[in-house]
Structure 1
Amino acid sequence: MSQKKLFLVLVAISTISFLLHHGGHLSWTLEAFRLGCPSFRSSLSSVDGAVASGWGRPKHTSVAFLKTHKTASSTVQNMLFRFAERNNLTVALPITACDHQFCYPRLFSGSFVHPHTVPPDIVTSHMRFSRAEVRRLMPNDTVHITILREPGAMFESLFSYYNQYCQSFRRVPNGSLEVFLKHPWAYYRLEEHDSMYARNTLTFDLGGDKDRAGAEATTYARRFAAEVERVFSLVMIAEHFDESLVLLRRLLAWDLEDVLYVKLNMRTPSSKSRLSEGLRGKIREWNAIDAALYDHFNASLWRQLSALGLPCVAREVQLLRRARDQLVRGCFGGRLPQLRSASQIANKDLRPWQPSAKVAIVGYDLPANVSSKGSGLARDTCVKMILPEVQYTRLLLRSQSLRYRSRFLLRPTRHTSRPPGPRREGIALRPEPWRLGKLGKNPTGTLRVSQ
């Protein structure tokens, strides 16, 4: 066989192998190219074995996602968990004493991070944000992202979800949102440990001061929004979730497959209250700082989308939804999944946590015959997409603890003053994450803003 024929055979074999291995990714990349988006055109020529993302640069894997309350953040967290597992990354997870959150509502500290999950690539569990502590924990190139939700819908959800846990809500006769909003100061106690659910929850989660009032609140909100903008590279908006994912993909150079999802931690329609415009206005007035933050970053989101070109964004959103539906239908026997109450879900590991008898959080159950279709990997992908936060956190902690022990604790004994542990090249870890001693009081604090 001539050298030319041998070369052509090798090229054909390589091409077939590439298509079989990357067929799904390649088809979506080519489809995106067809849409005519400028960023795709500039990066498609760079797709090769050295560039995994198809953007002309490697996927960014150092991410700090501030998981805010009742904002579709559980869906984003699930996305990040699955990305970490597919790419063999480490997720910072809470110590046992903190359960599945970083000892919220205390201000985040590196001592809340389980030592088997450091140094991390991703942090995504609930915390009250501390820029200094997250910076000490994460790599220098970490990208910070978070998500906000329209204050009316968010506060209605908080009031429903935490009605039996937040003292400010429990005082309200008949658990009425309208009654609370008529005279909120009659029920609200700012010094109570759970008061963050009852006022400016977004501001509190971001490390800010939830109890500024009057004209001072307006000035503070403006300064605080500017500080958040300096720290966070992207602030997603729940009402424009798919459009936010368009920006997220570009920011992190991720594939379309990396941002596919199903909605998690949702309430049944009967658990929701319809809000009149009057009630929405009262909610915004009571949560004035949150309202100002939302307005600021909603406008910012649409400026960024407009810069990309809204027709291009709309086409990519359509592509994302097609890819998501295709994946989800593959998991649910060719149909879109049916939401089920916890009692209807046969697999107990897939049942979402229920906050009270008055609020029903729905989830999903895989069809019984899914296990007979496709590979074990396909089934694992389907299960992980619908796995609730608490169960997924525990699963990740077990798997990462096993990896930690196999890497570091099964090595020959070393004479050192502390257990050997992973170190990220060029980044020195502070000692606190290695200690599991008693949790002392953490000083309160806020995200620093200029006065």
Structure 2
Amino acid sequence: MKHLLKDPIEGRDTIKQCKTSTRIVFLKTHKTGSSTVASIFQRFGFSHNLSFVIPRHGHMFSITELFNRSFAEPNQKYDMLVNHVRYNRKEMDTVMKPDTKYITILRDPATQAESMFGYFKIYKYLNMSTNSNPFARFLHRPQHYMNEYKSFKMREHLQNPTLYDLGFETSKYLNLTQIQYFIENLSHEFDLVLLQEYFNESLILLKKLLCWDMDDIVYISKGVRINKLRFSQSDRLKKKARDWNSADTILYDYFNKTFWKKVSEYGSDFEKDLNLFERKLNETFYNCIISDEKRKVFHRSYTYALKSGSGIKCEMLLWTDIMFTGKIKNASMIDHRGSLMSAGCDNTICLLVKVVNTAFTYLGSLSIR
């Protein structure tokens, strides 16, 4: 399709030839900003009446099982798959429509490891609740704790969590040849790998890849960890975190290089588009949110208070990926094939109004990460 784009500097209309992509697998990874990215995809798909592969129970398929076609309804093809599950390209291809884009996001293990440890309260499973900095204590002897505690929640994600999410097996973490071979294959299978440390830059690349509009990638952060679940990190501790997650470090360093290559290939407009996007983000936050000081604590994360009368667009920006999944289910807007039903609507606006009106009835039963 042809997009008519307004030049933000000169005010001229320019024609850019590109085809909008609406078929997406977003492979969520843990504590990388993936919940915010997933909510961007869900908002787009929700607003455009696209079909989603949705977990039958809860908001995740699995954090330990590889995706399997049995997770979806038989003989159906879908537009989007964005809920937590381990990557399995062959099985995912069987349920997705042709020309699906595959996207994921990474974070430097130096900070991701601490975020995982705090957010999921892993210190409780290791009997470290009374320690002033349990993360530092863990990294002093990580293998000792892995040997001593053989089974606990999130154990598989305590070392190299991102490669694990991407389908790599824990038994191969010390095999450098296998790690490099696996990463090389990923580089051919994924259309774009985002970086948490360069989140807005990543979304500019995403916008270009999908031929979306600037409004489609606007966001308000989700899953921002509360301060009491954070632990101080020295440079020495960050190095220990990278060493302990050595396979993930290789993964991150590889795609860090390819990321900046894509930025370079974007062209001279990259900085201009990035500045325009960040201005739009600031305007959106100002128009929608009361203030940063009014953040509310829910469970392990901060959330925000909407300005009165800010409208449905602002409300949707605060819906988390968990809420989107829950609203689709609880509003009974999924047919037996797992795709959004029009339920008597003949256009997207009608559908959206129906979903919003019905979904808010169930807000009390929904959990927010």
TM-score scaled by length of structure 1? 0.68
Structure 2 residue aligned with 1:85, among 19, 24, 46?
46
Alignment of 1:5-404 (within 5 A): 29-32=5-8, 34=10, 44-45=14-15, 55-96=16-57, 99-113=58-72, 115=73, 119-164=77-122, 167=125, 169-170=126-127, 174=131, 176-189=134-147, 192=151, 194-214=154-174, 216=175, 218-309=176-267, 312-332=269-289, 336-338=291-293, 340-342=295-297, 352=298, 354=299, 360-367=300-307, 369-370=308-309, 379-399=311-331, 401-402=333-334
TM-aligned CA distance change 1:306 to 1:170, over 3 Å = farther
Q: Which has the higher strand share?
A: 2
Q: Is the 8 A contact 1:116 1:401 kept in 2?
A: no
Q: Is the 8 A contact 2:50 2:340 kept in 1?
A: no
* CA distance, structure 2, for counterparts of residue 400 and residue 67 of structure 1: 25
Aligned to 2:352: none
**Can you list the C-alpha shifts for 1:389-415, whole angstroms capped at 9, x where unaligned?**
32221102234645569999x9xxxxx
Q: Is the 8 A contact 1:121 1:138 kept in 2?
A: yes
For these two proteins, the number of residue pairs brought into alignment is 336
The alpha-carbon deviation at position 34 of structure 1 amounts to 4.4
Q: Is the 8 A contact 1:35 1:315 kept in 2?
A: no
* CA distance, structure 1, for counterparts of residue 185 and residue 134 of structure 2: 35
The alpha-carbon deviation at position 69 of structure 1 amounts to 0.5
TM-aligned CA distance change 1:69 to 1:34, over 3 Å = farther
**Can you list the C-alpha shifts for 1:121-176, whole angstroms capped at 9, x where unaligned?**
01101101111111111012111000000101100000001225884x44687361
**Runs of 5+ consecutive residues of structure 1 not aligned to the other structure:** 1-24, 46-54, 343-351, 355-359, 374-378, 411-451
**Can you list the C-alpha shifts for 1:70-128, whole angstroms capped at 9, x where unaligned?**
000011011001100221111211012xx110122112122223x49953201101101
The alpha-carbon deviation at position 364 of structure 1 amounts to 1.2
The alpha-carbon deviation at position 63 of structure 1 amounts to 0.3
Q: Is the 8 A contact 2:85 2:165 kept in 1?
A: yes
Report the secondary structure of 2:17's partner residue: coil
Q: Is the 8 A contact 2:159 2:244 kept in 1?
A: yes
* CA distance, structure 1, for counterparts of residue 245 and residue 257 of structure 2: 18
Whichever of the two has the greater Rg, that structure is 1
Letter in structure 2 aligned against 1:287: N
Letter in structure 2 aligned against 1:111: S
Aligned to 1:17: none
Letter in structure 2 aligned against 1:106: E
Q: Is the 8 A contact 1:325 1:336 kept in 2?
A: no
TM-score scaled by length of structure 2? 0.82
Q: Is the 8 A contact 1:284 1:291 kept in 2?
A: yes
**Can you list the C-alpha shifts for 1:406-445, whole angstroms capped at 9, x where unaligned?**
999x9xxxxxxxxxxxxxxxxxxxxxxxxxxxxxxxxxxx
* CA distance, structure 2, for counterparts of residue 117 and residue 161 of structure 1: 38
* CA distance, structure 2, for counterparts of residue 213 and residue 85 of structure 1: 38
**Runs of 5+ consecutive residues of structure 2 not aligned to the other structure:** 344-369
Letter in structure 1 aligned against 2:38: Q
Q: Is the 8 A contact 1:83 1:258 kept in 2?
A: yes
